[in-house]
Structures are given as C-alpha cells and as structure tokens.
C-alpha cells in the first residue's frame, strides 16, 4: 500500500511545530542558568573521580530520581529470593574482605532480578536488560553488588542516565509503548549517542529474552578495586555464572508467553525453589593488576566495554545458592534497597564516571521511594551486624536511641561510638594520587564505540546472528521516521555491513553512505567535535567464543518442563519408562489433556491433569513427549490445538519424543516431514530424549522451520 501523501505532510508539519516550539530556547538549570554541557559530569581530570560540587549533575539526577513514587523508576518489575554464598578459595592476595578470605563462612544473601524499562505491572518477557542485584549480609557490613545480565551499560557517564531512560520509557505525549524500546524516541537517542551501540546490540540478542532468571549470567558491569592487607590495589570485574547454563527463548515465544503467562519468570523462580531445584551461580572475577591499567586497547573505566575472557580469564571463587522464597512480596522484594555505595573493607571504587554518579543516585532515589533516610531499618535492609552512629530521627524512624549525645567528639558518653582503626576493620579508601584540573569532559580513550559491538557480533553462532538481524528489523520497523532508521542503518553498518544489509532489506531502505549529523552528541557545546568522534572499529580479537550462548553449559535438564500429551487410554508402560528417566534427571513433568481433572491410562490408573489444552501453550514448556496408546491418540488427533502445540514446539526448535501410537499424532503435523531431525525422537531410548533436552534447542532446525505456518 502506497503511503498517503497527506499523512506524510502532516508528519513534517508536526516536526516543524516541535522545532518551532523550542526555537531560541537555550538549555538551562531549574534556576535559569544557561548550561554548556549536559552530557558529562565534573571530574578531577578526564579520567578522574566525579566531584561532589557538580550541582548540574545533582540537580539533573535528583529530579530524575524523584519522578516516580513509590514504584522504582527503573527496575520496577522484579522478583527475588533468599540464599547464601560460600567461598571456594581465599583470594587474600587480592582482597582483605572477609567474604573473600574466610572459606568457612556462609554469608546470607538476598537477590532481586528485574526488567529495566517497564512498570511494575509489565510482563516478564519484554526485550530488555535484566537487573541482577545481590545483597550480601557480611560480618563486616552489607555489600551490594548491583548489576545486570549484560556486562556493559548503555552510557559512559551518569549525567546521561536520565536521557537514556526518558528515551526508552513510554513517550510522554501518549504514554506508549509500555516496556518496549521499539519506538522513535529511543532510536532517536541511540542513533545520536553512539556509546550506546555495544549494550544495544546485546539487547538485540537473545540475552534480552532469557529462558529463566536461573539461566542468565550476572555482571557487576563496572571495574571495581580489590584491596589487600598490604594496601595493594587490583582492578576487578565480577561475574555470576549460572550452573544451568545461559539459555534464552525466541522472540516469537516471548510474545506468546507474555500473553499466556505474563508472570512466567516470576513463577519459574518461585516454583523451582519450592520444588527444591535451588538456583545456583558461581562467582567469578577478572583481575587486572594496577600496573596493567593501560595495557588494553580499551579503557577499563569505560562501562560500555567488557574485558573479553579470552584476554583475562574468569577465576571462579565461590558459589551462590537461592533456597528460600520471600514470605511477603512487599516487605521484602518491593522494599529491598540496593546501593552500589554499600561496600566493605577490601572492596573499593574506581573513577568510572557512571559508577561515580550511581553512588549518589541510588541513595537519593531511596529517600523518595522508601520515605526517608531510615530505609536501612526495614528488616530486609538491616545488616546482620549492629550499627552505631550519631544519625538521629527522620521519617520512618523505628529505633529508640538512648543517651544524651548525638555528636562526635564528645566526653559525656565517653567518646562513644568511637572510631575504628584500619587494623580493626575500619574502612579506608584507596589512596589514589590525583593531580588534575577540574574539567567537564570525557577522555578520548572512551571514544571507541564500534570495536566491541563488532567483536560481540562476530563471536556469535549463525542462529544468534539471525536473531539479532530479526530484532533490529522488528524494532526499527516500529519507528515512524525514515531518517532515524537510516541513521541507525549507517551505524549498524559500522559494526557489520552484512548485518546492516540484512536489516535494510527487511526495512525496504538503503544504507546511507554518510549521515548528516555529527555522530556523537555526548559532548558539550564547546567540545572539540573531531576529538570526540568514534574511530573506525579495531580488531584486537577476532572472536571471543565465551560471548556466544552456543558455548554455554548443556549438561543438566534439572527443572526443565516437559509437556506430556495424553488422553484416556494413554500407554502407561511407555509413560512410566520415559518419566522415570526424566524425573531421575530432575525434569518437571506436566500432563496436558483435552480437559481438566483426571485421565485414565490403559492400566486403569487415574492421573491428575496439570493443564487442559485450552488453558496452556507450548511456549511454556521446554520439550514435549507423546506416550502413545491408540485410544488416547485417536482423541488427540481430533483436537486441533494439540496439532498446533506440536507444530509450534517444533518451530521453536524444541526436543520432541513419541512412542508407539504417538507417531500417528506426529504424522498429522508438519514434524512428519522432518523425522531425521536429531531432536525428533520416535521410539527411541529415554536417554536420547534427555540428551536432546539438555542441548536446550536444536538451533540447526531453524533453516527448516522458517516457512512453516503455525
């Protein structure tokens, strides 16, 4: 259908009105002060720490932090669980923190997983970054490792965080779309802010739609410091490696899961813990000696960069297990407050400008969300060690603090509470030498915006690359303005031209040879533009296999959900042989029948139905099994949704097994044309089905299912 010229004219008119409304309006503070740079915080040198005096940063962040009450502005949709952390090996050569040196400790933890962009009522399977925040209740105080399921972030400086979130949130004039990045304002921002491209291509990948919270990695994102007893500093990046491997769903599944069960991830975490399938992650660290700070072709302080594991291997040092669900969602999951500024002796910060801003922003946000400065007294936020200081009163005060003095020094109470010596565990910041000018700028070493997105894309399996191309095509296809799409196509071509060509074909557009605007607007009005432009991509590593989910763990089927399609008269012998093996390996069996209640097998035994076919969907399961039994199969063949159920599972590359007469049901589906598929098992041993299920998906099937209608 040809576009309506009058509609195109109206769009242009609307754009002109927007520009006219802002004509001659200069950026100012809330007090009318003209602003020269709203992209960079004030630092002690280009790579120095952010300064407390930066009133522009504090005004911008404070306004942003208090936009929502009481729902979190970001990470509103969350799920959580209790557990514990145990250390495998002491790393006292790097850190003096007790949690990293005492192998006899069992440290309690509380972990919250979340989406970022959506509201509290949004669905679980949005294409989005997932928050991965861990609160360690250590014997030296609380340590919060507040990260995501992706190792990098969108922006390099906290000054840009309100802009990022405002662009991805529902557009303010119409409050749509919810929990989605596929709209003009987000891509307008991304296409002007090229530092976002690395995290953005991760969001276009399968990492943005995990199969389960239990099957995704976690990262501390920033480069932190570890400090040992000698005062020596090592740079560190933190990694959480799931014992079940890293697995995702397809976008088609995600859309359907959101309709079939919008609480899919929340329910999955809760049910796994209740069933005793306790989620586990191993904690890993990447260590870079202080003297190697500048040895890489990227900057360690840049939060949009990762350190490839092929360059600095991850050392596994401990394990976290989640073994208890919250007793009250609001009191625990909703009221928990994570702050990057919660650290313990042996852990310290770097001058990462995004981290520096987070140290202010997170506490500021909690003041609104939790009613005042005493949120640490809420049970879920209380440390396991007592706290003593001269802070008093305030909203939500629950402690009755006794005594005459609330100041230091004093003599009336014997100088108590007294200060702790460093040797007694008193916190001591790393003594980093600073000799620099105060400056609102960004280091040129942060300017490489194409090399790591290109490395990520080169490292993926062919099916992962196809999913990224499909995601870009879908997301940009939702944008209304061609010039935004074309600017994005040019940027994608700088990452990988083949990828850009594929996306351009899907959009029906050409990749522009140049783009009109300067390609990096994350600078101040007077900055030297040439110095801030991203250079062409570098190849310092051809591929990094650890970035691909094709190389994750494929060992366990514990907690994997298998749909068993049955009706009255199903084969008990086949069913028992298969289920005994599956349950021994930890799989979860669900009987799907034409109706609810009970079904009776061919040995006249009653079995409880877990779901009637009209109340469930194949996308909620990891695999399916058909035990056969002629009476059962004849009934299933008359129900169209069972045929759709099988076809859809096949299209999503899942393992399918059938025994005996179950093959007759397979023959009614598209699957009958692909019986040589390695994950379609007809009358084979149960162990073969286990092996196929452990592989998560038969992604090689993708080429065969592209054109199958479901």
**What is residue 1's predicted lDDT score, i.e. its pLDDT?**
40
With residue 563 as reference, give the H or E element that holds it.
Answer: strand 561-565
In this predicted structure, the answer to whether residue 509 has a pLDDT above a threshold of 70 is yes
Secondary structure (DSSP) of 420-471: PPGGGT------------EE----GGG---SHHHHHHHHTS-HHHHHHHHHH
| Separation of alpha carbons 130 and 53, rounded Å | 32
| Separation of alpha carbons 59 and 329, rounded Å | 33
| Separation of alpha carbons 710 and 699, rounded Å | 18
Q: Which residue has the tokens 């010039």?
A: 483
**What is residue 11's predicted lDDT score, i.e. its pLDDT?**
53
CATH match of 554-705 with 3.40.120.10: no
Query: In CATH, which superfamily holds the domain spanning 448-547?
Result: Catalase, four-helical domain (1.20.1370.20)
Which class does domain 43-381 fall in? mainly beta
Residue 470 and residue 251 in contact, taking contact as beta carbons nearer than 8 Å:
yes
Sheet harboring 588-593: ordered strands across? 611-612, 588-593, 561-565, 623-626, 655-658, 680-682
Number of CB atoms found within 10 A of residue 513's CB: 7
| Separation of alpha carbons 298 and 302, rounded Å | 8
Task: Give, as one character, the DSSP assignment of residue 331.
Answer: I
Residue 103 and residue 87 in contact, taking contact as beta carbons nearer than 8 Å:
yes
For the segment 369-400, what is each residue's pLDDT rounded down to a tens digit? 898 888 899 999 999 988 888 888 888 888 88
pLDDT band with cut points at 50, 70 and 90 for residue 3: very low
Residue 653 and residue 571 in contact, taking contact as beta carbons nearer than 8 Å:
no
In this predicted structure, the answer to whether residue 424 has a pLDDT above a threshold of 90 is no
Active-site residue set: 75, 148
Residue 422 and residue 400 in contact, taking contact as beta carbons nearer than 8 Å:
no
User: Max alpha carbon distance in the chain (Å)?
Assistant: 90
For the segment 517-550, what is each residue's pLDDT rounded down to a tens digit? 555 566 677 776 666 678 889 999 999 999 999 9
Residue 703 three-state SS: helix
- Cβ neighbours for 490, distance < 8 A, ≥ 6 positions apart: 500, 511, 512, 514, 515
Q: Where are the domains of the chain?
A: 43-381, 448-547, 554-705
Residue 593 and residue 566 in contact, taking contact as beta carbons nearer than 8 Å:
yes
Between strands 438-439 and 598-600, the pairing is unpaired
With residue 64 as reference, give the H or E element that holds it.
Answer: helix 55-65
Mean pLDDT in residue range 561-582: 98
Mean pLDDT in residue range 8-16: 56
Higher pLDDT among residues 198 and 401, named by residue: 198
In total, the chain counts a number of residues equal to: 710
Task: State CA 592 to chain mean position distance.
Answer: 32
Q: How far apart are the first and last CA of the chain?
A: 26
Q: Which residue has the tokens 């399961």?
A: 621
In this predicted structure, the answer to whether residue 153 has a pLDDT above a threshold of 90 is yes
pTM to 2 decimals?
0.91
| Separation of alpha carbons 123 and 532, rounded Å | 39
Nearest to 568 by CA among 598, 610, 596: 598
Nearest to 240 by CA among 139, 149, 140: 149
| Separation of alpha carbons 681 and 658, rounded Å | 6
For the segment 58-78, what is each residue's pLDDT rounded down to a tens digit? 878 887 887 765 778 789 899
- Cβ neighbours for 706, distance < 8 A, ≥ 6 positions apart: none
| Separation of alpha carbons 270 and 278, rounded Å | 10
Nearest to 374 by CA among 401, 347, 349: 401
Average pLDDT, whole number, for the chain?
A: 92
**What is residue 63's predicted lDDT score, i.e. its pLDDT?**
75
Distances (CA, A) of 1 to 476, 482, 546: 19, 17, 45
């Amino acid at each position: 259908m040809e576009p309506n010229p009058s509609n195109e004219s109206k769009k242009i008119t609307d754009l002109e009105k927007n520009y006219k409304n802002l004509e001659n309006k200069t950026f100012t503070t809330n007090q009318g002060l003209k602003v020269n740079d709203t992209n960079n915080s004030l630092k002690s040198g280009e790579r120095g720490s952010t300064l407390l005096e930066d009133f522009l940063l504090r005004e911008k962040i404070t306004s942003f932090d208090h936009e929502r009450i009481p729902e979190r502005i970001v990470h509103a949709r969350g799920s959580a669980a209790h557990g514990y952390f145990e250390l495998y090996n002491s790393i006292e050569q790097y850190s003096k923190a007790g949690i990293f040196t005492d192998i006899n400790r069992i440290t309690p933890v509380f972990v919250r997983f979340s989406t970022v962009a959506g509201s509290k009522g949004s669905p679980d399977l949005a294409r989005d970054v997932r928050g991965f925040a861990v609160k360690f209740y250590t014997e030296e105080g609380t340590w919060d490792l507040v990260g995501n399921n992706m190792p990098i972030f969108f922006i390099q400086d906290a000054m840009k965080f309100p802009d990022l979130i405002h662009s991805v949130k529902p557009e303010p004039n119409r409050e749509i779309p919810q929990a989605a990045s596929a709209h003009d304002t987000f891509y307008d921002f991304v296409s002007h802010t090229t530092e976002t491209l690395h995290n953005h291509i991760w969001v276009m990948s399968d990492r943005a739609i995990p199969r389960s919270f239990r099957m995704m990695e976690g990262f501390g994102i920033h480069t932190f410091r570890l400090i040992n007893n000698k005062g020596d500093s090592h740079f560190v990046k933190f990694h959480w490696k799931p014992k079940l491997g890293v697995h995702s769903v397809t976008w088609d599944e995600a859309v359907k899961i959101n309709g079939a069960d919008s609480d899919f991830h929340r329910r999955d975490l809760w049910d796994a813990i209740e069933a005793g399938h306790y989620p586990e992650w191993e904690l890993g660290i990447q260590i870079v000696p202080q003297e190697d700070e500048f040895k890489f072709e990227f900057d360690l302080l840049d939060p949009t960069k990762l350190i490839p594991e092929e360059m600095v291997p991850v050392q596994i040092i401990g394990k976290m297990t989640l073994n208890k669900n919250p007793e009250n969602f609001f009191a625990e999951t909703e009221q928990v407050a994570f702050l990057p500024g919660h650290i313990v002796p042996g852990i310290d910060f770097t001058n990462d400008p995004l981290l520096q801003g987070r140290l202010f922003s997170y506490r500021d946000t909690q003041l609104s969300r939790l009613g005042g400065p005493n949120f640490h007294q809420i049970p879920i936020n209380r440390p396991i060690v007592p706290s003593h200081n001269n802070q008093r009163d305030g909203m939500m005060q629950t402690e009755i603090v006794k005594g005459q003095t609330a100041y230091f020094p004093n003599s009336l109470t014997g100088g108590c509470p007294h200060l702790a010596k460093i040797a007694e565990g008193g916190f001591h910041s790393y003594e980093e030498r600073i000799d620099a000018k105060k400056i609102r700028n960004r280091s040129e070493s942060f300017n490489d915006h194409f090399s790591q997105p290109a490395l990520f894309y080169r490292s993926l399996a062919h099916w992962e690359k196809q999913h990224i191309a499909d995601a870009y095509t879908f997301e940009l296809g939702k944008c209304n303005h061609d010039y935004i799409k074309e600017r994005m196509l040019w940027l994608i071509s700088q990452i990988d031209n083949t990828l850009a060509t594929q996306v351009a074909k899907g959009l029906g557009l050409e990749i522009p040879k140049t783009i009109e605007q300067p390609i990096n607007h994350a600078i101040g009005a007077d900055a030297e533009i040439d110095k801030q432009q991203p250079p062409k991509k570098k190849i310092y590593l051809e591929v990094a296999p650890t970035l691909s989910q094709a190389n994750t763990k494929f060992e366990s089927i514990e907690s994997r959900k298998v749909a068993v399609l049955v009706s009255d008269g199903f084969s008990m012998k086949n069913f028992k042989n298969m289920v005994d093996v599956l349950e021994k390996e930890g799989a979860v069996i669900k009987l799907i029948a034409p109706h609810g209640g009970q079904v009776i097998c061919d040995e006249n035994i009653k079995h409880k139905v877990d779901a009637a076919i009209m109340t469930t969907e194949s996308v909620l399961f990891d695999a399916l099994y058909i035990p056969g039994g002629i009476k059962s199969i004849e009934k299933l063949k008359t129900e169209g949704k069972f045929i759709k159920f099988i076809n859809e599972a096949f299209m999503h590359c899942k393992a399918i097994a059938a025994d005996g007469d179950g093959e007759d049901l397979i023959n009614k589906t598209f699957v009958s044309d692909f019986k040589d598929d390695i994950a379609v098992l007809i009358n084979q041993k149960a162990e073969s089905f286990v092996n196929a299920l452990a592989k998560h998906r038969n992604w090689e099937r993708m080429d065969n299912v592209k054109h199958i209608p479901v």
